[in-house]
Structure formats: C-alpha cells, structure tokens
Structure 1
C-alpha cells in the first residue's frame, strides 16, 4: 500500500444513505475522532429524515463528485442501493480515497472482479462494515476468549441472522433481486465473515446453499429465506438467514452465533435474550472450568479505531483485504449455487 502520511484527523464523506447502517458507520468513525464533512444521496431515501436529525451539521452535497474531487477527504462511506456500491467504491478508489462500504460490498461476481482489479491498480483500502461482528461487543469478547484458548480449537460456527421485514418502510429496491443481490449475498455475508474469522480460515468451499420465498409470494423478487454451509481446512459452518422475525419480538431479530471448540463452546445472543435478561450482548461460555452467562457490553467495538489507523499507516489490522474479498466471493458463490436450484 502507499506510504503517504495521513493527517491525525481523518475526514470522511458518505455517498448514498439508502440503508440505516450508515448511522452506525458514521457515528463510530466520529467516536474515534474522524470528521464527517458531507454526504450525497439521490432523492429522499427512508433514512434521510433520521440521518439529518442525527447529523444536523453535516452538509448535503449536490453531487458525489464534490467529494471525489476534494483531496482533503480521506474516506468514502457507501450505504446506497446495494447494486451501486461496487461502482462507487471503484470511482472512489480511483480518486485516491479509501472505502468503507455497507454490506453487501458487491452484488455480482463480475463486480467483485472489477473491485479486485481496481485494488491492484490503486493500492487503496476497500473495507466492508460487517456490523453483526464489528458493532457487537459480545462478538469482541468472544474473539478475546477464542484467542485465549477458552474453548480450544474452533471447529464449527452456527450463525443465525433473522430479520424483521418492516414492509411499510422498505423501498422498491428491497424487493428487486438485481438491486439487493439476493438474501445470501446480502445478509449471509455477515455470517460468512464470522465463520472465516472465528475458525481462522483464509478460504472455504460452499457445500450447500438454498434460498426461497415462502411467506411473500406476491413479491417475486424477494428471497425471504436462505441457508448455506461452508467447509475449510480449519472447520465447518452453517448459516441461516430470513425475514420472518415476528412482531412480538422487542428487537429486529434474534441474531445468534454458536462457536464450537474442541474444549468448549460459546453462544452469543447478540440483540435479545428471550426469556432471560433484558438488553443486548449476552454471552454463554461453557468449557472445562466454567459454565456461565455474562454480559459483554464493556468489550467495545475496536474495528472502527483500527480501520482509521489502517488508513493512516497503510496496514491491515481491522480486517485484511484478502478477508473482505473472500467473504464476498463465498457469499456470491453460495447465492449462485442456491439460485440454480431455486429456478
């Protein structure tokens, strides 16, 4: 990567705020000392009103090129319509910016190949906010416990990513397969990231993949269920994602992760503990010495500070570039495999 020295206060701008993940992406960078200098988005996407309330002093630009042509801006955040993110990432990197994209970073393997080529050409950083790990303190604590050897060698992850449909707030692109990329390419990228990370895998094989639309037949472009399995030389993984979260649940989804090791296991109840304690970030640890449940809110979310340091120092401490590319590749391969069977 290039060795140009970056200023201590990094500046970032956002292109596209069509997904509410932009809130956490921006707020966490601000909390780590970066300066939010502006945003551009087309039309009036649903998150716009809340975005303006949360970031009232951040100006809206008339065009995205305003940021691409500004040499003082170091980082571009991308949270537009998913199928547009890879194109803006490439434009941003060619303009000399590093990129932090909402997931999915790509919606096709062709887009992924274009991003790879751009990375080789520009030597920039293309990172993806896998929020179900990077914005979850219990995942941080789980990573610490795994690194300490608390459950031995990790041999399997089981990741569950249920979501609430919230039909009334969804834009048209949400129901258009070509726009959002498919349920595995989109949501399951979170769980693919966690599988690779916790098993220490750098590559894997998709051994099973399925998608379906079982509850929303009138929305022919929507996939409301997906599952996939992964196998690497380090371990195995099973992933299930869906849009079936019932209205009675007090959160958008009962996201869980089970990490199985040779000497114990960890279960994360990330957002809600049904029938248990209130709040988020519940972690269960069972091994030869402990059988306990703990809260992990104090573990923090170090990704964003590390990402800024990587931008300054041209390092890869937050997430390696190879990891980001591999997550997208596997999720997209699973999507293609599933759709061959879904036809």
Structure 2
C-alpha cells in the first residue's frame, strides 16, 4: 500500500474531500496551510460546497433569547438534517446580533438569514458566525414596515426589499416608500435606494423567495387581496390576481415547486387541524384549492399527550415543502 498525503492529491480530489467536511471544521482547516485556505476561499469550491449542502434537506430552528438588565438579545440557530442526523447531534450556533429583541426571521437563502428587530435589519451567516447590520431606515414612529429577502443569481448579489407606509387618522394611506439594499462586497459603499412601483398596494403577509422572484400577499388600493411579485434582478413589480381574501395570518409557501397560500395556521392547529391551501398552477395561472389534514399530536409521540403552551420557535424548512411555526410543547 502506497501512502499518499493530501498535498499530493490532484486538486479536484482535494476539493471533493473538503466538500464533505462540516463547515465548522472547514473554517479550522483554513489555518492549516495557505493552499487549503486558497481552495476553500475559491469561488468554484464555495459554489460546489453550497450546492452539495442544499441537496441535503434540513430544518432550521431560530430561537430568540433575551437577557434583561441589561438587555442582551441573542439568536440561537439550530440546523437539523432531516434524514440521518439526530437532533442533539446537529449543528447549532449562538450569535448576538441585535441591541433590540428579534421580531422576525425570513426565509434562509444560500446560507444567509435576514432578521429584523424593531426597525433594525441584520443579515446573518450562522455557519461563519458573521453578520452585517444594514443602515437603519428612518421611519415615522408607529409607521408599518415590511421587509423581504432575495437573491439575484445573474449578478450574484443578495437584495433586501423594504416597504414603509403612513396612514392618516381614517386609516387611508398617505405615503409609501419602496427601498432596496444590495449586499455588495464593500459594506461602506452599500446603501438603501428608492425604487418605484406602479401598483399601489400594502403588504399583508410574509414573503416567499422562489426562482429569482419575491412573492407576498398584499391589499391593492381598492381593498382587494392580491399576490405581489418582485423580480429581484430587474426590480419590477407585478400583480397576481387572487380568488380568496387573505389576512396577515396566511402564509405563502413553496408547495411541490408551485407557490401556494395557506390559511390561518394558528386557527387550524387549535381547532379544525386542517389547512386550506390555494396552489397556483404556473402554466394556467389558476389557483386550485386543496386541504391538508393534520394528525393529532398525541398520535405522533408514542400515545403521549402534548400540551400546547405558547409560540417559541420559528421553524423554517430550507429545502422542504413549507415553512411552519412550531409551538412550545411538553408531554404529560
């Protein structure tokens, strides 16, 4: 048997071996040699590593942890590979990214997660334990603000869309701003910029990113429910007509490759345990209604009864069908 060192292997074999190494160890390997570091930092390896990682279905738990006096908000990230990795052996990270408590966590995209906390927006890379705080947007006190996160594959940049609006005492809208932040390599030169939208609307639901497009439920200026689409590359808005009225409790999800709207998740969990879902046919543009029955909790954990207490986790499926909220549960 001939002993062969890693250094003598062809470059493509070195990349193949390194692509199978967990991220937390990969970062340590960069300190071993300049050659290893150059491979790991290379664009070809990064793209291949990301591609291999995205092929493994996993679930991400994001937990908002708060300490008081003084306030020290932290975000806990726990990544679970669904097929073969036990929960307790899966990857977990702890990051302090906010001076204010976490309010919203958006759909993870290519390893990055966008978080919002009372007007502050942060882009996190849990694997590298790095984050970037975006410039704060000046909004009037109490003015609504909706944030969406997407990726422009053509230009290889991430973008954040933020919509703010004001209402007068009669609740009619008086002004609205659409802003975009492009995640460039030079943090100092990046800033928010105003864009225009020809379709007057107010966002209602959280967003869904799919195939270079951001989707979110909204109300048009005549009060009709619609789904707005925002092309991340061209930064153009378009309107998708709806056959049903929606509320902030509805969720946009990726269902078997199609965009779909799910009705009030909280109400479904506590009462009917059945989700109403409207799935859009990409070819015809029609919305087809379907329903999904949810099994009772006590039928899924060895006959034990699960008691529901309060919302605790935001559970996002990175490669799965839908994104759901998980309730804090305990056995009795």
Normalising to structure 1: TM-score of the pair? Answer: 0.28
The structure with the greater share of residues assigned to strand is 2
The structure with the greater share of residues assigned to helix is 1
Higher relative contact order (CA 8 A, sep 6+): 1
Normalising to structure 2: TM-score of the pair? Answer: 0.29
